[in-house]
Amino acid sequence: MTSTAGLENTDVALLMRQRAFIFPGWEETLLGQIRDLHSQIYSYYILQKKIQETPIILPSGMMLKARLKTGLSGQFSAPDSVTFAEGCLYVADPEEEQIFVFSQQGRLIRTFGQNIRKPIAITLDLEGNIVVLNNGTNSIQVYDPLSGDLLVAHAPFPDDKRYDPIGIVVDHSGNFLISDFEQHIIRRVSPAGKVIGSIGSPGSGFGQLRAPVGLAVDIKGTIWVADSGNNRISRFTSIGFPLCSYGEDSFQDPWAVAVGQDGVFVVSDMNHYRLQIWGSTDEGDFRGFWQSNIRLDPPGTDETSLPRGLSIAPDGTIYVADWGNGEILVVGQYIY
Q: Can you point out the beta strands (E) in 155-306?
A: 165-170, 176-180, 185-189, 195-199, 212-217, 223-227, 232-236, 242-246, 254-259, 265-269, 274-279, 285-290
pLDDT > 50? residue 17: no
Q: In what order do the strands lie in the sheet with 176-180?
A: 165-170, 176-180, 185-189, 195-199
Q: What local confidence, expressed as pLDDT, does residue 316 receive? A: 83
Confidence of residue 21 (pLDDT cuts 50, 70, 90): very low
Confidence of residue 214 (pLDDT cuts 50, 70, 90): very high
pLDDT > 80? residue 24: no
Q: For the segment 127-144, what is each residue's pLDDT rounded down to a tens digit? A: 999 999 998 888 999 999
Alpha carbons 285 and 289: distance in angstroms, whole number: 12
Q: What local confidence, expressed as pLDDT, does residue 263 receive? A: 81
Q: What local confidence, expressed as pLDDT, does residue 315 receive? A: 81
Q: Which residues pair with 328 in a beta bridge?
A: 68, 321
Q: What local confidence, expressed as pLDDT, does residue 159 receive? A: 63
Q: What local confidence, expressed as pLDDT, does residue 181 receive? A: 93
Q: For the segment 52-90, what is each residue's pLDDT rounded down to a tens digit? A: 333 334 444 566 667 777 644 446 778 899 998 878 899
Of 57-71, 197-211, 238-252, the one with minimum mean pLDDT is: 57-71
Q: For the segment 256-302, what is each residue's pLDDT rounded down to a tens digit? A: 999 987 788 999 999 888 888 888 666 668 888 887 653 433 333 33
230 vs 48, which has greater pLDDT?
A: 230
Q: What local confidence, expressed as pLDDT, does residue 111 receive? A: 87
Q: What is the pTM of this model?
A: 0.77
